[in-house]
Chains A and B, each alone.
Chain A
Amino acid sequence: MENFKIDVDADGIALITFDVPRRSMNTLTSGVMKEIPEWVERVKTDDAIKGAVLTSGKASGFCAGADLGDMASGMLGGSDLQAAYDAGWRLNGALRALETCGKPIAAAINGLALGGGLELTLACHYRVTENDNKIQLGLPEIKVGLFPGGGGTQRLTRLIGVQAAMMAMSEGKSFRPNDAKSAGIVHDVVEKGQSVEAAKAWVKGGGKAVQPWDEKSFKLPGGGPYHPAGIQNFLVGNAMIRKQSWGNYPAVTNLMKAVYEGVQVPMDAALRIETRYFIKTLMTPQAQGMIRSLFLSKQELDKGAVRPADQPKSDPKKVAVLGAGMMGAGIAYVQAMAGIETILIDRDQAAADKGKAHVEELLKKRLSRGQLTQEKFDALLGSITATTDYDLIKGSDLVIEAVFENRELKAEVTRRAEAMLEPGAVFGSNTSTLPITGLAEASARPEDFIGIHFFSPVDKMMLVEIIRGERTGPAALAKALDYVMKIRKTPIVVEDGRGFYTSRCFATYVAEGLAMLEEGYAPALIDNIGRMTGMPRGPLEMHDDVALDLSLKVAKQTQADLGDAYQPLPGSEIVRKMVEDLGRYGRKNGKGFYDYDQKPKKLWSGLGDLAPVTIDDSTPELVEDQKRRLLYRQAIEVARCWEEGVIDDPREADVGAILAWGFAPWTGGPITMIDQIGVAKFVEQADAYAAKYGERFTPPQLLRNMAAKSETFYGNFAGQKQAA
């Protein structure tokens, strides 16, 4: 065995140390899965062994779970269902053998145990972990479109009841050691470094080698589905998962099915049921897309997959932020958290101080939750200097400009800041719409000028869109990426253009909602269909959030820029009337498509006069068609961006879409969606929409060419990577 080491002590207790070679973290590789039955067999049959303690040999944690890369490809090698089931059963079979081996086995959980890692310990007869807030215990599989498939759905429910287990698994939430103990997931929490001793003591003290659920007297905590109390968990649970998933995530429904069916039968049958639903889930396009985009691709981007490899690694230590509004303050906060010294500059001291006060609020939240010590809090806040003095910029590795979207203002602060910068330091503009090449004209050194587009609220939004201007150099790009990675955000790199990638594509969603309004769809229907696509909010309420006056301003600017070529978007006249005639600006003045003077907000009753409703009844078919319409509209814009060279890496397109504007995560992103539908079918449907709704749905030539050659985006990309 290369992944486990066995040392039998004088008391006959085998210490099994889990330590996958050449990896920084233990995962359930296929090698590991093969070796578990080997040591279980040894524990079972070796008379010298009285019991065992399983622990990790890694400082990084106990086990981070399954190897998703392995799993996505390995388990579904072909279309043979029985083979897929057999592969899925390997872990469950091994863990069942573990818990029925007849000798007591305790888990000394000396580091984080997630997913399959926690499931491995759940199959042990006793679990003890350590009092260390870095340790997390949880089953987060749902976040990548899966659910626990190593017995977790069955053992956790039998340990802590259906309600608590469903909450833990359907949200993928982790537990800290003491919370895990009060929830009943572990038996004990001991001081750091003491878990192995405690686990051995349990074995020595006559620890029982039978799981509670294998006892005749076992009763499911809280009751099963047809128990008078237990029934509520299912009645309400079924509704909750629809409320939360909008029916877009088969993983959470299959999770519920595995729990419902599993708790009604003995453990062996329960595990077979779990494996069947697990394989069923793994085969869904949603799981395939989510594993790739939300886990594998995101991880690759986080590690700098798109960074120019020939540029030396940089480490920004001091960064100045121009503009201390919500954005600038948010950026200062994430910089402080990453240990970057920050100069926060605004026009007057009061504005700069206000920005810093916002950072203080965010830090206080962490302090009150015990995530920061007072000492650390003071240090982090102290690393931010709020000032009006541009001289303090001196010595910065990078400047982020986050002032108002006004070319003259941006040009002025660019010149003033650049004057303070050493050669090689980078100037980044956090503009969300103004083309970088144009802004760079104010710069004396456009090769060091780049777009670094954050999303609001900065502390929560994971993505940063880096925009390369025409003259941006590779060194600036590498440094910007190093910066983004240092503040632990996910970077994507796009080329310059109106709205770049994210703002441009997001705008189509909002605009299409307006088109539906003009076509006579009831406003409630529009926003509910929007939510049902898996987007975080409906297009009308999104429009209110963005602000109607802003959207009108952008439309007018675009009209001025394009002149005769400008074509007004459907429904734009409704927005003009709302803003100019009725003073309805959106959420910011409490009056938009909705009235915000009461909670919950209510659709504005006057909307029907501006946009008479002719479609106020729905069928599932209509809803499906309009959901597709909203998603297609965005995906077509993504494909146009690709054709124009704004974006050229499917990972960036997909991860960027999900993290920046909340593009339906269940799809795995717009490019994955097109690939999974099939380019030819997508083109055909888009053409049908174009005939019905207008040219904005006409698919770009790129897609027609790909369809003709039966290509896919990811297929082509894999080919390029191989060629490179």
Chain B
Amino acid sequence: MADAYIFDAVRTPRGKGKKDGSLHEITALSLASQVLEALRERNELDTSKVDDVILGCVAPIGEQGADIARTAVLNAGWSQQTAGVQINRFCASGLEAVNMAAAKVKAGEADFAVGGGVESMSRVPMGSDGGAWPVDPSSAFPTYFVPQGVSADMIATKWGFSRDDVDAYSVESHKRAARSWEEGRFKNSVVPVKNQLGLVQLDRDETVRPNTDMQTLGGLNPSFAMMGEMAFDAVINQRYPEVERVNHVHTPGNSSGIVDGAAGVLIGTLEAGKALGLKPRARIKGAASIGSEPSIMLTGPEFVANKLLGKLGMAKSDIDLWELNEAFAAVVLRFMQALDIPHDQINVCGGAIAMGHPLGATGAMITGVVLDELERSNKETALITLCIGGGMGTATVIERV
């Protein structure tokens, strides 16, 4: 079986996912198209050699509906021979798209494939695609469905993370993100978003607050206390009766930001790259997805990381850098606690608490972030993972070549 290599990884900056965000006036299709255009331009890519474009998108309705990947391929002026498919593994969609692209390459189905994702959360709100799980009593009831924020608060409660713990994590995320921008760590991979006139609309992640501190964060109200007290605390408490009462620690300040953005990773075989004169940057060593307990929902990264390391015959010490999406601070703190990972090896450039989490795109974005960082710090191996709605985890190990 062939190996799958990463040749390039690009992403848009992340715009605040509200009506006053810079990318609100840019369509999701445009975001996805600009990523594909950048991949083509940067690599002088003969797009007819790319078999498929796989894009994650979590709210695939409205302008993001009806297979936005194929629409973006056509809209970006790529070869009409390139197929496109939209996939949804909730928050890990972007990484799953990378893994599927890699799998197609490994299996010989594709010489080149793009794995990426797009989400304009300001234009197509989270949850607007409906879905049976929380709504149909046949699925909601037996799985103790609660909104993710309540799950995150249960993680903090069950494993003992206080409000100060999660806020301190958040302060550090902003600090790291700001430093990364300052030092130009992202400059090779972030492609500015252009507007309808072709002028730059946004060239930096919009939600980083370098000066945020414990005091500012401590003043924010918990986001999930009200819905928790209404009914959902009782639901998850029935699944975790060892907890006396859910402690609501997560706020907008220590949870991932709602943002707009897109990303794409170009993957192919060594031979195909050689034919087009492309230099491989990293090898995709392996990938895995798992299911975990759905009510607490966000503990999957621990299990998928262990599964993947086991499958690859690797030890934790073989991983130089860990990248876990900062969906909520407690998710990362629990992962660090469970796997005994020091803070200076994980999310070293900051994460979604500072820069935001454009649902369908994040997995591809953080793949690029950690690949740049491996190169910058001259390290070899990274494990990328995300917690996922419905109780899942997806992970990928990459190593530089």
- Interfacial residues, chain A to chain B (CB-CB below 8 A): 225-226, 228, 231, 234-243, 246-247, 253, 256-257, 260, 522-525, 528-529, 532, 600, 602-603, 616-618, 620, 623
Contact = CB atoms under 8 A, between A and B. Distances in A.
A525 B242 contact: yes
Given A242-B141, A620-B239, 14 more contacts: A225-B130, A228-B128, A234-B137, A237-B137, A238-B137, A238-B141, A239-B232, A239-B234, A246-B238, A257-B138, A524-B244, A525-B242, A617-B242, A618-B240
B238 A528 contact: yes
A618 B235 contact: no
A260 B242 contact: no
A528 B136 contact: no
B134 interface: yes
A617 B243 CA distance: 9
A525 B146 CA distance: 20
Closest 9 CB pairs of A and B: A528-B241, A239-B231, A243-B234, A524-B244, A238-B140, A256-B137, A226-B130, A525-B242, A234-B135
B241 A236 contact: no
B238 A247 contact: yes
Interface in B128-164: 128, 130, 134-138, 140-141, 144-146
Contact of B244 (A225, A529, A603): A603
A260 B136 contact: yes
Nearest to B144: A242
Given A225-B136, A226-B135, A242-B141, A236 B242 contact: no
A524 B241 contact: yes
B230 interface: yes
Contacts of B140: 234-235, 238-239
Nearest to B128: A228
Contacts of B230: 236, 239-240
A532 B241 contact: yes
A246 B235 CA distance: 8
Nearest to A245: B141
Interface in B217-250: 230-232, 234-235, 237-245
A638 B232 CA distance: 36
Contacts of A235: 134-135, 140
Contacts of B234: 239, 242-243
Contact of B241 (A240, A242, A525): A525
| Interface class of chain A by DSSP | helix
Identify which of B141, B237, B240 gathers the most chain A CB atoms within 10 Å of its CB. B141
B236 to A, nearest CB: 9
A99 B239 CA distance: 44
Contact of A238 (B134, B239, B240, B243): B134
A257 B132 CA distance: 12
Given A238-B141, A239-B146, A524-B244, A231 B135 contact: yes
Nearest to B239: A620
Contacts of B134: 234-235, 238
A603 B245 CA distance: 10
A390 B328 CA distance: 71
A218 to B, nearest CB: 21
A602 B245 CA distance: 9
Contacts of A240: 230-231
Given A234-B135, A240-B231, A524 B243 contact: yes
Contact of A618 (B136, B141, B241, B245): B241
A618 B241 CA distance: 7
Contacts of A532: 238, 241
Identify which of B134, B135, B136 gathers the most chain A CB atoms within 10 Å of its CB. B135
A600 B145 contact: no
Nearest to B145: A238
A460 to B, nearest CB: 24
8 contacts: A231-B130, A234-B136, A237-B137, A239-B230, A528-B237, A617-B242, A618-B240, A618-B241
B136 A522 contact: no
A242 B235 contact: yes
A246 B234 CA distance: 9
A225 B240 CA distance: 28
Nearest to B241: A528
A90 to B, nearest CB: 26
A256 B145 CA distance: 15
A241 B232 CA distance: 11
Contacts of B243: 524
B241 to A, nearest CB: 3
B141 A241 contact: yes
B149 to A, nearest CB: 13
Contacts of B128: 228
A398 to B, nearest CB: 45
A247 B235 CA distance: 10
Nearest to A231: B135
A235 B144 CA distance: 11
A228 B125 CA distance: 11
Nearest to B245: A600
B232 to A, nearest CB: 5
B155 to A, nearest CB: 14
A617 B128 CA distance: 36
B103 to A, nearest CB: 33
A646 to B, nearest CB: 33
